[in-house]
Structure 1
Amino acid sequence: MSRIELSRIWLLALLLAAPVTAAQAIDLPTRKPGLWELKMQGSGSGQNVAIQHCTDETIDKKMNAAVQPLATESCSTPAIQKTATGYVNDSVCKVAGMTTTSHAEITGDFNSAYTVKVTSRNENPLPGVPKETATTLEAKWLGPCKDGQRPGDIVMPGGIKMNIADMDKLKALLPKAK
C-alpha cells in the first residue's frame, strides 16, 4: 500500500474521528487528552485500519478547524444534531463529480470510547468506488501519550508517523470540489 493510499485512509479515519459540518450548530466535545486508538472497518474501505493518535484539546479544535472548510466547499446539507444517545449527522457532498449522501451516528463519550457509524450512497460513483458503503470507526482512549509523542502525532499502519500539523499536505491529496 502506498503512502498516498495510507494518507487517504487516515484522512477518512480523521474525518470520522472528528466529524464537523459547515453549518454546525452543535459543537462536539473535545476528546480526553492522551493516546487514542482508532479502528476503522467497513465495506467501503476494502480493509480494516487501525491508527493511534496523541491528542489534546488544542489539537482536536485544530482538526475541526482544518476539516470544516472541506465540508463547507463540498457539502450542501450538513447538520449535526444532538440525540438521546449521542449525535447524528446527515450530509450531501459533491466531490470530483460524484454525489455522496451520508448518515453518521456517533455514540459513546469522548473520555473513554465512542463509535461512529457511517452509511453512504454514491451517485455516479467513480471507477472502483462502491455505490453503497457502511463504515464503522471505534475509538478507545488508551492512556497518556507515549514518551516522545507530542499532541497531534499519528501512527498509521506500517509504522508511518505524521503530525496533524501536516493537515495542509493531506488536504492536497483530496480532489477539489467542482
Structure 2
Amino acid sequence: MGAIFPGRLLGGSRAAVCISVVAVAATVMPAHADELPVRKPGRWQLTTVAESIGMKTFETCVTPADGIVPGVGDKNCRLSKVKRLADELYVDVECRADAGTEKTSTVLTGDFSTWYRAMSKMTFDPPQQGVSHMGVTVDGKYLGPECKP
C-alpha cells in the first residue's frame, strides 16, 4: 500500500487516503546513511496534519513487510533520492502514470523506536482535480508490539 497510486493519481477522497498512508511512514533508522529504514513492527499512534483534512489521529499496525516510503518498489515509481543530513533522512520518489506525474519529498526525523516525524510534500503534474501540490506532517508514537485485532 502506498500514498502514490500509479495509474490513478490523487483525486477526491484519495487525498485523505494519501495523507493517511504517508502517515504510516514510521521506522527504525538505517544502518547506512543512504539506506531506507525498516519500520519497527507493532502498534503506532499517528497524528496527521494537512490543510485538506485538518488534524486526524488514528492507530495502525505495522508489519516487517510494510514499506516506509509510498511508491518504493512499484514498477511505475522511481526512488530518486535517499540522503542523510545530520538527524534528518531525505527521501524523494517520482511516480508516472497515464494521469501524469506525482513527486513526493519526505523528511524523516526522530528516534524511530518511540517517536518520529514525517514531513511530506507532494506535487502533481498535471494538477489532479485542481490540486497541484499538498503537504502533510505526521507525528508517530510507538504504542507497543501488540496489534489490536
Shorter-normalised TM-score: what interval?
0.5 to 0.7
Structure-1-length-normalised TM-score = 0.58
| Residue in 1 that maps onto 2:30 | none
Counterpart among 46, 56, 64 of residue 53 in structure 2: 46
1:29–1:110 Cα contact (<8 Å) kept: no
* Aligned residue type for 2:132: K
* Aligned residue type for 1:28: P
Q: How does 1:58-137 map to 2 (within 5 A)?
A: 59=63, 61-64=64-67, 68-70=72-74, 73-128=75-130, 130-137=131-138
* Aligned residue type for 2:16: I
Q: Give the Cα–Cα distance (whole angstroms) in 1 for the partners of residues 81 and 25 of structure 2.
A: 14
* Aligned residue type for 1:118: S
Unaligned 5+ residue runs, structure 2?
1-12, 27-33
In the TM superposition, residue 8 of structure 1 has moved relative to its aligned partner by 6.9
In the TM superposition, residue 138 of structure 1 has moved relative to its aligned partner by 0.9
* Aligned residue type for 1:103: S
In the TM superposition, residue 67 of structure 1 has moved relative to its aligned partner by 5.6
Please identify which structure carries the higher helix content.
1
1:15–1:67 Cα contact (<8 Å) kept: no
Unaligned 5+ residue runs, structure 1?
20-24, 151-178
In the TM superposition, residue 92 of structure 1 has moved relative to its aligned partner by 2.3
* Aligned residue type for 1:35: R
Structure-2-length-normalised TM-score = 0.68
> Percent identity among equivalent residues?
19
In the TM superposition, residue 9 of structure 1 has moved relative to its aligned partner by 3.2
